[in-house]
Protein backbone atom coordinates (compact mmCIF):
# COMPACT_ATOMS: atom_id res chain seq x y z
CA UNK A 1 0.00 0.00 0.00
CA UNK A 2 1.29 3.38 -0.87
CA UNK A 3 1.34 5.85 1.97
CA UNK A 4 2.08 9.49 2.34
CA UNK A 5 5.72 9.10 3.13
CA UNK A 6 6.92 12.59 3.80
CA UNK A 7 5.71 15.99 4.82
CA UNK A 8 6.31 17.14 1.25
CA UNK A 9 4.09 14.46 -0.19
CA UNK A 10 1.43 15.20 2.39
CA UNK A 11 1.49 18.85 1.41
CA UNK A 12 1.16 17.85 -2.25
CA UNK A 13 -1.85 15.75 -1.40
CA UNK A 14 -3.44 18.60 0.55
CA UNK A 15 -2.93 20.86 -2.43
CA UNK A 16 -4.64 18.38 -4.73
CA UNK A 17 -7.43 18.01 -2.19
CA UNK A 18 -8.03 21.76 -2.02
CA UNK A 19 -7.72 22.24 -5.77
CA UNK A 20 -10.06 19.49 -6.88
CA UNK A 21 -12.52 18.75 -4.12
CA UNK A 22 -15.20 21.06 -5.52
CA UNK A 23 -14.80 19.51 -8.94
CA UNK A 24 -14.95 16.02 -7.48
CA UNK A 25 -18.08 16.91 -5.58
CA UNK A 26 -19.61 18.24 -8.79
CA UNK A 27 -18.77 14.97 -10.57
CA UNK A 28 -20.20 12.83 -7.77
CA UNK A 29 -23.31 14.97 -7.39
CA UNK A 30 -24.13 14.60 -11.08
CA UNK A 31 -24.62 10.90 -10.47
CA UNK A 32 -25.76 10.62 -6.87
CA UNK A 33 -29.10 11.76 -5.49
CA UNK A 34 -27.99 13.84 -2.52
CA UNK A 35 -25.11 15.89 -1.15
CA UNK A 36 -24.33 13.39 1.61
CA UNK A 37 -23.84 10.55 -0.89
CA UNK A 38 -21.71 12.78 -3.08
CA UNK A 39 -19.52 13.68 -0.10
CA UNK A 40 -19.16 9.97 0.64
CA UNK A 41 -17.96 9.38 -2.90
CA UNK A 42 -15.49 12.25 -2.66
CA UNK A 43 -14.10 10.94 0.63
CA UNK A 44 -13.67 7.45 -0.77
CA UNK A 45 -12.11 8.84 -3.91
CA UNK A 46 -9.54 10.78 -1.88
CA UNK A 47 -8.53 7.66 -0.01
CA UNK A 48 -8.03 5.88 -3.31
CA UNK A 49 -6.11 8.84 -4.73
CA UNK A 50 -3.93 8.88 -1.64
CA UNK A 51 -3.11 5.22 -2.11
CA UNK A 52 -2.74 5.15 -5.84
CA UNK A 53 -1.71 8.47 -7.27
CA UNK A 54 1.68 8.02 -8.87
CA UNK A 55 4.48 9.86 -7.12
CA UNK A 56 5.39 11.80 -10.24
CA UNK A 57 1.76 12.99 -10.55
CA UNK A 58 1.44 14.39 -7.04
CA UNK A 59 0.90 17.92 -8.23
CA UNK A 60 -1.94 19.85 -9.79
CA UNK A 61 -1.89 19.15 -13.52
CA UNK A 62 -4.41 17.95 -16.14
CA UNK A 63 -3.41 14.30 -15.66
CA UNK A 64 -3.97 14.47 -11.90
CA UNK A 65 -7.23 16.33 -12.45
CA UNK A 66 -8.43 13.64 -14.86
CA UNK A 67 -7.39 10.93 -12.41
CA UNK A 68 -9.38 12.63 -9.62
CA UNK A 69 -12.44 12.86 -11.88
CA UNK A 70 -12.20 9.23 -12.99
CA UNK A 71 -11.70 7.89 -9.48
CA UNK A 72 -14.62 9.96 -8.18
CA UNK A 73 -16.86 8.71 -10.97
CA UNK A 74 -15.77 5.18 -10.16
CA UNK A 75 -16.55 5.58 -6.45
CA UNK A 76 -19.91 7.15 -7.22
CA UNK A 77 -20.78 4.14 -9.37
CA UNK A 78 -19.66 1.84 -6.56
CA UNK A 79 -21.96 3.67 -4.15
CA UNK A 80 -24.87 3.37 -6.55
CA UNK A 81 -24.24 -0.33 -7.05
CA UNK A 82 -23.88 -0.98 -3.33
CA UNK A 83 -27.46 0.11 -2.76
CA UNK A 84 -29.75 -2.72 -1.78
CA UNK A 85 -32.41 -1.60 -4.22
CA UNK A 86 -31.38 0.07 -7.39
CA UNK A 87 -33.91 2.27 -9.15
CA UNK A 88 -33.97 2.58 -12.93
CA UNK A 89 -32.44 6.03 -12.47
CA UNK A 90 -29.58 4.56 -10.43
CA UNK A 91 -28.94 1.92 -13.07
CA UNK A 92 -28.85 4.53 -15.81
CA UNK A 93 -26.54 6.77 -13.78
CA UNK A 94 -24.20 3.84 -13.10
CA UNK A 95 -24.18 2.94 -16.80
CA UNK A 96 -23.71 6.47 -18.08
CA UNK A 97 -21.43 7.89 -15.38
CA UNK A 98 -20.83 11.60 -15.77
CA UNK A 99 -21.20 11.37 -19.52
CA UNK A 100 -18.38 12.72 -21.63
CA UNK A 101 -18.85 14.81 -24.76
CA UNK A 102 -17.32 13.25 -27.89
CA UNK A 103 -14.16 15.13 -28.88
CA UNK A 104 -15.37 15.17 -32.49
CA UNK A 105 -12.74 13.11 -34.28
CA UNK A 106 -15.45 11.01 -35.89
CA UNK A 107 -13.45 7.92 -34.95
CA UNK A 108 -11.85 6.18 -32.02
CA UNK A 109 -12.07 9.03 -29.49
CA UNK A 110 -15.76 9.59 -30.22
CA UNK A 111 -16.44 5.86 -29.96
CA UNK A 112 -14.61 5.84 -26.62
CA UNK A 113 -16.84 8.63 -25.36
CA UNK A 114 -19.94 6.56 -26.15
CA UNK A 115 -18.87 3.56 -24.07
CA UNK A 116 -20.55 2.69 -20.75
CA UNK A 117 -18.82 4.44 -17.86
CA UNK A 118 -17.03 1.34 -16.52
CA UNK A 119 -15.40 0.60 -19.89
CA UNK A 120 -14.58 4.24 -20.58
CA UNK A 121 -13.00 4.66 -17.13
CA UNK A 122 -10.91 1.51 -17.45
CA UNK A 123 -9.57 2.53 -20.86
CA UNK A 124 -8.89 6.11 -19.79
CA UNK A 125 -7.09 5.01 -16.63
CA UNK A 126 -5.04 2.55 -18.65
CA UNK A 127 -4.32 4.55 -21.80
CA UNK A 128 -4.63 8.18 -20.69
CA UNK A 129 -3.49 8.08 -17.07
CA UNK A 130 -1.04 5.29 -17.89
CA UNK A 131 -1.80 2.96 -14.98
CA UNK A 132 -0.71 -0.65 -15.40
CA UNK A 133 -3.05 -3.60 -15.06
CA UNK A 134 -1.54 -4.27 -11.65
CA UNK A 135 -2.19 -0.70 -10.52
CA UNK A 136 -5.73 -0.86 -11.85
CA UNK A 137 -6.39 -3.83 -9.59
CA UNK A 138 -6.08 -1.61 -6.56
CA UNK A 139 -7.72 1.46 -8.04
CA UNK A 140 -10.77 -0.47 -9.21
CA UNK A 141 -10.76 -2.96 -6.33
CA UNK A 142 -10.59 -5.97 -8.63
CA UNK A 143 -8.28 -8.92 -9.03
CA UNK A 144 -5.96 -9.25 -11.98
CA UNK A 145 -8.21 -11.56 -13.98
CA UNK A 146 -11.17 -9.24 -13.59
CA UNK A 147 -9.15 -6.21 -14.66
CA UNK A 148 -7.84 -8.03 -17.72
CA UNK A 149 -11.37 -9.16 -18.57
CA UNK A 150 -12.69 -5.63 -18.08
CA UNK A 151 -10.07 -4.16 -20.41
CA UNK A 152 -10.70 -6.82 -23.03
CA UNK A 153 -14.45 -6.26 -22.87
CA UNK A 154 -13.95 -2.52 -23.05
CA UNK A 155 -11.82 -2.88 -26.18
CA UNK A 156 -14.39 -5.21 -27.65
CA UNK A 157 -17.16 -2.73 -26.95
CA UNK A 158 -15.04 -0.06 -28.56
CA UNK A 159 -14.62 -2.19 -31.67
CA UNK A 160 -18.40 -2.69 -31.82
CA UNK A 161 -18.92 1.05 -31.49
CA UNK A 162 -16.56 1.63 -34.37
CA UNK A 163 -18.30 -1.02 -36.46
CA UNK A 164 -21.65 0.64 -35.84
CA UNK A 165 -20.26 3.82 -37.26
CA UNK A 166 -18.48 2.02 -40.08
CA UNK A 167 -15.13 3.28 -38.90
CA UNK A 168 -13.14 0.05 -38.88
CA UNK A 169 -10.17 -0.23 -41.23
CA UNK B 1 1.45 -0.07 -35.76
CA UNK B 2 0.78 -3.25 -33.87
CA UNK B 3 -2.87 -4.17 -33.51
CA UNK B 4 -3.39 -6.86 -30.88
CA UNK B 5 -6.18 -9.30 -30.09
CA UNK B 6 -7.90 -8.69 -33.43
CA UNK B 7 -8.82 -5.16 -32.47
CA UNK B 8 -8.83 -2.68 -35.34
CA UNK B 9 -6.72 -0.23 -33.34
CA UNK B 10 -3.31 -0.35 -31.71
CA UNK B 11 -2.52 0.59 -28.12
CA UNK B 12 -0.79 3.69 -29.45
CA UNK B 13 -3.95 4.74 -31.30
CA UNK B 14 -5.91 4.05 -28.16
CA UNK B 15 -3.54 6.26 -26.16
CA UNK B 16 -4.07 9.11 -28.59
CA UNK B 17 -7.85 8.69 -28.52
CA UNK B 18 -7.83 8.46 -24.73
CA UNK B 19 -5.81 11.65 -24.49
CA UNK B 20 -8.30 13.44 -26.76
CA UNK B 21 -11.21 12.20 -24.70
CA UNK B 22 -9.48 12.98 -21.42
CA UNK B 23 -9.01 16.57 -22.50
CA UNK B 24 -12.60 16.82 -23.76
CA UNK B 25 -13.81 15.44 -20.45
CA UNK B 26 -11.89 18.08 -18.49
CA UNK B 27 -12.94 20.88 -20.84
CA UNK B 28 -16.57 19.97 -20.30
CA UNK B 29 -16.30 20.21 -16.53
CA UNK B 30 -16.68 23.52 -14.74
CA UNK B 31 -13.55 25.22 -13.44
CA UNK B 32 -15.32 26.12 -10.23
CA UNK B 33 -18.79 25.32 -9.01
CA UNK B 34 -20.78 28.51 -8.49
CA UNK B 35 -21.66 28.87 -5.74
CA UNK B 36 -19.12 26.40 -4.31
CA UNK B 37 -20.50 23.52 -2.33
CA UNK B 38 -20.14 24.01 1.40
CA UNK B 39 -18.91 20.67 2.66
CA UNK B 40 -20.56 19.33 5.76
CA UNK B 41 -18.84 19.55 9.10
CA UNK B 42 -18.68 15.78 9.19
CA UNK B 43 -16.87 15.69 5.83
CA UNK B 44 -14.38 18.36 6.88
CA UNK B 45 -13.75 16.62 10.16
CA UNK B 46 -13.08 13.32 8.50
CA UNK B 47 -10.80 14.78 5.88
CA UNK B 48 -8.83 16.57 8.60
CA UNK B 49 -8.69 13.32 10.51
CA UNK B 50 -7.47 11.49 7.43
CA UNK B 51 -4.51 13.80 7.02
CA UNK B 52 -3.80 13.88 10.74
CA UNK B 53 -3.96 10.12 11.06
CA UNK B 54 -1.77 9.59 8.04
CA UNK B 55 0.78 11.81 9.69
CA UNK B 56 0.50 9.96 13.01
CA UNK B 57 0.60 6.62 11.29
CA UNK B 58 3.88 7.22 9.57
CA UNK B 59 6.02 6.50 12.59
CA UNK B 60 4.20 3.30 13.44
CA UNK B 61 4.18 2.06 9.91
CA UNK B 62 7.78 2.84 9.34
CA UNK B 63 8.53 0.72 12.33
CA UNK B 64 6.22 -1.98 11.07
CA UNK B 65 7.81 -1.80 7.66
CA UNK B 66 11.17 -2.24 9.33
CA UNK B 67 9.87 -5.26 11.17
CA UNK B 68 8.34 -6.58 7.99
CA UNK B 69 11.63 -6.37 6.17
CA UNK B 70 13.55 -8.12 8.89
CA UNK B 71 11.00 -10.58 10.12
CA UNK B 72 8.99 -11.18 6.98
CA UNK B 73 5.74 -10.17 8.56
CA UNK B 74 2.86 -11.08 6.32
CA UNK B 75 0.08 -9.12 7.87
CA UNK B 76 0.00 -5.39 7.94
CA UNK B 77 -2.93 -3.84 9.68
CA UNK B 78 -3.05 -0.18 9.09
CA UNK B 79 -5.42 2.67 9.55
CA UNK B 80 -6.40 3.74 6.08
CA UNK B 81 -9.68 5.52 6.45
CA UNK B 82 -12.43 5.03 3.97
CA UNK B 83 -14.23 7.83 5.66
CA UNK B 84 -17.90 7.65 5.03
CA UNK B 85 -20.81 9.00 6.92
CA UNK B 86 -22.24 6.51 9.36
CA UNK B 87 -25.81 7.01 8.29
CA UNK B 88 -24.94 6.60 4.67
CA UNK B 89 -23.29 3.36 5.63
CA UNK B 90 -26.55 1.78 6.70
CA UNK B 91 -27.04 0.17 3.33
CA UNK B 92 -23.59 -1.35 3.23
CA UNK B 93 -21.96 -4.39 4.72
CA UNK B 94 -19.85 -4.07 7.86
CA UNK B 95 -16.73 -5.46 6.23
CA UNK B 96 -15.69 -7.13 3.06
CA UNK B 97 -12.78 -9.08 1.74
CA UNK B 98 -11.24 -8.38 -1.62
CA UNK B 99 -8.64 -10.33 -3.55
CA UNK B 100 -6.34 -7.83 -5.19
CA UNK B 101 -3.42 -9.09 -7.18
CA UNK B 102 -3.15 -12.19 -5.01
CA UNK B 103 -3.25 -10.14 -1.80
CA UNK B 104 -6.30 -10.21 0.40
CA UNK B 105 -7.54 -6.83 1.54
CA UNK B 106 -10.08 -6.41 4.31
CA UNK B 107 -12.04 -3.21 4.52
CA UNK B 108 -14.45 -2.25 7.21
CA UNK B 109 -17.32 0.09 7.71
CA UNK B 110 -18.31 1.19 11.16
CA UNK B 111 -18.98 4.08 13.48
CA UNK B 112 -16.08 5.84 15.10
CA UNK B 113 -15.26 4.22 18.41
CA UNK B 114 -15.50 6.18 21.62
CA UNK B 115 -13.52 3.90 23.86
CA UNK B 116 -9.93 2.94 24.41
CA UNK B 117 -8.68 -0.24 22.80
CA UNK B 118 -8.75 -2.99 25.45
CA UNK B 119 -5.42 -4.37 26.64
CA UNK B 120 -5.32 -8.10 25.86
CA UNK B 121 -2.87 -10.91 26.45
CA UNK B 122 -2.74 -14.55 25.38
CA UNK B 123 -3.99 -17.01 27.98
CA UNK B 124 -2.22 -19.72 26.01
CA UNK B 125 1.06 -19.70 24.11
CA UNK B 126 3.24 -22.58 22.90
CA UNK B 127 5.81 -23.19 25.63
CA UNK B 128 8.81 -21.94 23.69
CA UNK B 129 7.45 -18.44 23.02
CA UNK B 130 8.58 -15.51 25.15
CA UNK B 131 7.10 -12.04 25.28
CA UNK B 132 9.17 -9.46 23.40
CA UNK B 133 7.21 -6.23 23.23
CA UNK B 134 3.87 -4.54 22.64
CA UNK B 135 3.49 -1.80 20.12
CA UNK B 136 0.56 0.55 20.03
CA UNK B 137 0.22 1.47 16.36
CA UNK B 138 -1.72 4.69 16.98
CA UNK B 139 -4.55 4.31 19.47
CA UNK B 140 -6.43 2.14 16.99
CA UNK B 141 -4.42 -1.03 16.98
CA UNK B 142 -2.00 -3.02 19.07
CA UNK B 143 0.72 -5.47 18.12
CA UNK B 144 1.99 -8.03 20.64
CA UNK B 145 5.24 -9.76 19.71
CA UNK B 146 6.55 -13.07 21.02
CA UNK B 147 9.63 -15.04 19.99
CA UNK B 148 10.39 -18.72 20.18
CA UNK B 149 13.40 -19.83 22.26
CA UNK B 150 13.71 -22.91 20.09
CA UNK B 151 13.62 -21.75 16.49
CA UNK B 152 13.73 -17.96 16.83
CA UNK B 153 10.47 -17.48 14.92
CA UNK B 154 8.02 -14.79 15.93
CA UNK B 155 4.37 -14.88 16.85
CA UNK B 156 2.41 -11.71 16.29
CA UNK B 157 -0.97 -10.90 17.74
CA UNK B 158 -2.44 -7.80 16.13
CA UNK B 159 -5.81 -6.32 16.97
CA UNK B 160 -7.49 -3.03 16.33
CA UNK B 161 -10.73 -1.20 15.85
CA UNK B 162 -12.69 -1.79 12.68
CA UNK B 163 -14.15 1.71 12.91
CA UNK B 164 -13.93 4.14 10.03
CA UNK B 165 -12.96 1.33 7.75
CA UNK B 166 -9.51 0.27 8.79
CA UNK B 167 -7.80 -1.68 6.07
CA UNK B 168 -5.97 -4.94 6.58
CA UNK B 169 -3.88 -6.68 3.96
CA UNK B 170 -2.59 -10.24 3.95
CA UNK B 171 0.09 -10.31 1.32
CA UNK B 172 0.34 -13.30 -0.97
CA UNK B 173 4.14 -13.26 -0.72
CA UNK B 174 3.88 -15.09 2.57
CA UNK B 175 0.47 -16.66 2.88
CA UNK B 176 -2.48 -17.34 0.61
CA UNK B 177 -6.10 -17.80 1.55
CA UNK B 178 -6.78 -21.34 2.66
CA UNK B 179 -10.03 -21.92 4.49
CA UNK B 180 -12.67 -20.58 6.83
CA UNK B 181 -12.28 -21.97 10.33
CA UNK B 182 -14.23 -21.68 13.60
CA UNK B 183 -12.53 -19.32 16.08
CA UNK B 184 -13.80 -18.18 19.47
CA UNK B 185 -17.47 -18.63 18.63
CA UNK B 186 -17.17 -17.00 15.24
CA UNK B 187 -15.39 -17.78 11.99
CA UNK B 188 -11.99 -16.71 10.80
CA UNK B 189 -9.90 -16.87 7.64
CA UNK B 190 -6.84 -19.07 7.76
CA UNK B 191 -3.89 -18.43 5.44
CA UNK B 192 -1.35 -21.26 5.47
CA UNK B 193 2.19 -19.96 5.14
CA UNK B 194 3.94 -20.32 1.80
CA UNK B 195 7.12 -22.41 1.62
CA UNK B 196 7.00 -23.38 5.28
CA UNK B 197 6.65 -19.76 6.36
CA UNK B 198 4.31 -18.25 8.91
CA UNK B 199 0.58 -18.76 8.68
CA UNK B 200 -2.00 -16.09 9.37
CA UNK B 201 -5.39 -16.27 11.04
CA UNK B 202 -7.78 -13.33 10.74
CA UNK B 203 -11.07 -13.00 12.59
CA UNK B 204 -13.45 -10.36 13.86
CA UNK B 205 -15.41 -9.57 16.97
CA UNK B 206 -18.26 -7.75 15.22
CA UNK B 207 -19.95 -6.78 18.47
CA UNK B 208 -16.87 -5.10 19.89
CA UNK B 209 -15.87 -3.83 16.45
CA UNK B 210 -12.38 -5.30 16.73
CA UNK B 211 -10.33 -7.15 14.14
CA UNK B 212 -7.77 -9.71 15.20
CA UNK B 213 -4.96 -11.51 13.50
CA UNK B 214 -2.30 -13.95 14.59
CA UNK B 215 0.73 -14.76 12.55
CA UNK B 216 3.01 -17.59 13.56
CA UNK B 217 5.02 -20.43 12.15
CA UNK B 218 2.73 -22.96 13.78
CA UNK B 219 -0.13 -25.20 12.66
CA UNK B 220 -3.77 -24.15 12.50
CA UNK B 221 -4.72 -25.93 15.71
CA UNK B 222 -2.05 -24.13 17.74
CA UNK B 223 -2.87 -20.73 16.28
CA UNK B 224 -6.59 -21.18 16.95
CA UNK B 225 -5.76 -22.19 20.54
CA UNK B 226 -3.79 -18.97 20.99
CA UNK B 227 -6.67 -17.01 19.45
CA UNK B 228 -9.26 -18.56 21.73
CA UNK B 229 -7.08 -17.95 24.79
CA UNK B 230 -6.98 -14.17 24.35
CA UNK B 231 -8.16 -12.42 27.50
CA UNK B 232 -8.03 -9.02 29.19
CA UNK B 233 -4.49 -8.30 30.34
CA UNK B 234 -3.92 -8.81 34.05
A86 and chain B: CB distance < 8 Å anywhere?
A: no
pLDDT value, residue A133: 87
The structural domain count of chain B equals: 1
The answer to the question of residue B163 being in a domain is: yes
A56 versus B207: which is more confidently predicted? B207
pLDDT in tens, A54-82: 655 667 788 889 999 999 999 998 888 77
Dist CA B90 CA A4 (whole Å): 30
Q: Is the pLDDT of residue B126 over 90?
A: yes
Which letter, b or e, does each residue of B155-186 get, where b requires 16 or more Cβ atoms within 10 Å of its Cβ?
A: bbbbbbbbbbbbbbbbbbebbbbeeebebeee
pLDDT value, residue B100: 65
Instruction: Using DSSP, state whether B182 is helix, strand or coil.
Output: strand
Q: Is the pLDDT of residue B65 over 90?
A: no
A51 and chain B: CB distance < 8 Å anywhere?
A: yes
A50 and chain B: CB distance < 8 Å anywhere?
A: yes
pLDDT in tens, A117-139: 999 999 999 999 888 888 888 88
B15 versus A142: which is more confidently predicted? B15
pLDDT value, residue B111: 60
Residues of chain A contacting residue B55, judged by C-beta atoms under 8 Å apart: 4, 10
Dist CA B193 CA B28 (whole Å): 51
Query: Measured between CA atoms, how close is B11 to chain A, in angstroms?
Result: 8
Residues of chain A contacting residue B50, judged by C-beta atoms under 8 Å apart: 43, 46-47, 50
Provide the domain limits for residue B125: 41-232
Domain ranges of chain A: 1-99, 101-169
C-beta separation of A22 from A28 below 8 A:
no
The residues, ordered by sequence, that sit 6+ positions from B205 with a Cβ below 8 Å of its Cβ are B184, B186, B212
The most confident of the ranges A94-108, B164-178, B191-205 is: A94-108
Topology (CATH) of A101-169:
Arc Repressor Mutant, subunit A (1.10.10)
Residues of chain B contacting residue A112, judged by C-beta atoms under 8 Å apart: 17-18, 21
DSSP B175: B
Considering CB atoms only, which of B7, B21, B78 is closest to A109? B21
pLDDT in tens, B30-48: 876 667 889 998 888 888 7
Q: Do A159 and B78 touch (CB under 8 A)?
A: no
The answer to the question of residue B179 being in a domain is: yes
pLDDT in tens, B67-95: 222 222 333 343 332 333 333 333 334 56
Considering CB atoms only, which of A17, A98, A103 is closest to B20? A103
Amino acid sequence: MQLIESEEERAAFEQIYLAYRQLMFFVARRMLPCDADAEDAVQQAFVSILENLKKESRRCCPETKAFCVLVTENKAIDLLRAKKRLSQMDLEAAERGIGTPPPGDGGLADALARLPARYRQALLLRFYSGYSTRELERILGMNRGSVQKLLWRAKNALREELEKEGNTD
Amino acid sequence: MKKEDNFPFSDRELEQAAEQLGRAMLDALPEADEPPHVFSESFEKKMDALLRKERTRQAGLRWVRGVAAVLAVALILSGTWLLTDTEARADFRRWYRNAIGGDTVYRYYGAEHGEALPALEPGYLPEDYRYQKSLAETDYSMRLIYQSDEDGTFLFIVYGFMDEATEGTVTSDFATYGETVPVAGTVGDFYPGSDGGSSVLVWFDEEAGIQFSIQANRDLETIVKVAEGLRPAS
